[in-house]
């Protein structure tokens, strides 16, 4: 049994050597991932363990470690997804920017479930940014429309006015 430090800096495990081999094959961990064998007190790279050295070094340069799925019982961090503001900004403000906001908002929960906390935070920040852009564009277009309608109404009023 082993414990490892994931790409997000959190400790995962205990996991079996077979599970670690599967994660190596999937590219979720590599020979640089810090691991601690059961009973050890020292963390060392996974490639220094004889049972993983050849498997993790196969194929040349290993890919960067992917986030691990959350361990059962470990609390999930709360990351706002901004889905409701994204939908409202799509309906009420600016359709193109609102759709982009919805796409980023939908990515937040999927990335959290995959254990990609940093990716979820980036998607959350992008969703928030696009919601604000949609709101701002909606307000600008509404103000321009109101000014044009007021100008048009004045011209219309002048042609129908009886002196």
List, for residues 26-57, the tens digit of each pLDDT value.
888 888 888 888 888 888 888 888 887 655 44
Task: Enter the pTM of the model.
Answer: 0.50
Query: CATH topology for 2-57?
Result: Dna Ligase; domain 1 (3.30.1490)
pLDDT tier, 59 (very low <50, low <70, confident <90, very high otherwise): very low
Q: What is the 3-state secondary structure (H, E, C) of 11-59?
A: EEEEECHHHHHHHHHHCCCCCCCEEEECCCCCCEEHHHCHHHHHHHHCC
Lowest mean pLDDT among 6-10, 25-29, 70-74, 141-145: 70-74
User: How confident is the model at residue 135, as a pLDDT?
Assistant: 93
Distance CA 33, CA 15 (A): 14
Domain positions in the chain:
2-57, 83-160
> What's the pLDDT at 93?
83
- Confidence band for 125, pLDDT divided at 50, 70 and 90: very high
d(CA 57, CA 42): 21
- The per-residue pLDDT for range 89-117, each reduced to its tens digit, is 989 888 889 999 999 999 998 888 887 88
* Residue 120 in this model has a pLDDT that exceeds 80: yes
| Higher per-residue pLDDT: 155 or 40 | 40
């Amino acid at each position: 049994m082993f414990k490892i430090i994931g790409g997000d800096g959190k400790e995962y495990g205990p996991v079996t050597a077979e599970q670690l081999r599967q994660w190596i094959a999937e590219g979720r961990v590599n020979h640089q991932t810090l691991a601690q064998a059961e009973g050890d007190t020292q963390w060392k790279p996974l490639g220094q363990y004889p049972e993983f050295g050849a498997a993790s070094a196969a194929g040349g340069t290993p890919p960067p470690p992917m986030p691990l799925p959350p361990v059962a019982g470990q609390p999930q961090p709360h990351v706002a997804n901004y889905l409701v503001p994204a939908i409202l900004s799509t309906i009420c403000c600016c359709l193109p920017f609102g759709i982009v906001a919805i796409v980023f908002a939908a990515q937040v929960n999927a990335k959290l479930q995959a254990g990609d906390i940093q990716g979820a935070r980036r998607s959350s920040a992008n969703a928030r940014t696009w919601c604000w852009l949609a709101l701002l564009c909606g307000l600008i277009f509404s103000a321009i429309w109101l000014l044009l309608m007021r100008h048009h109404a004045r011209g219309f009023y002048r042609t129908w006015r009886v002196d």
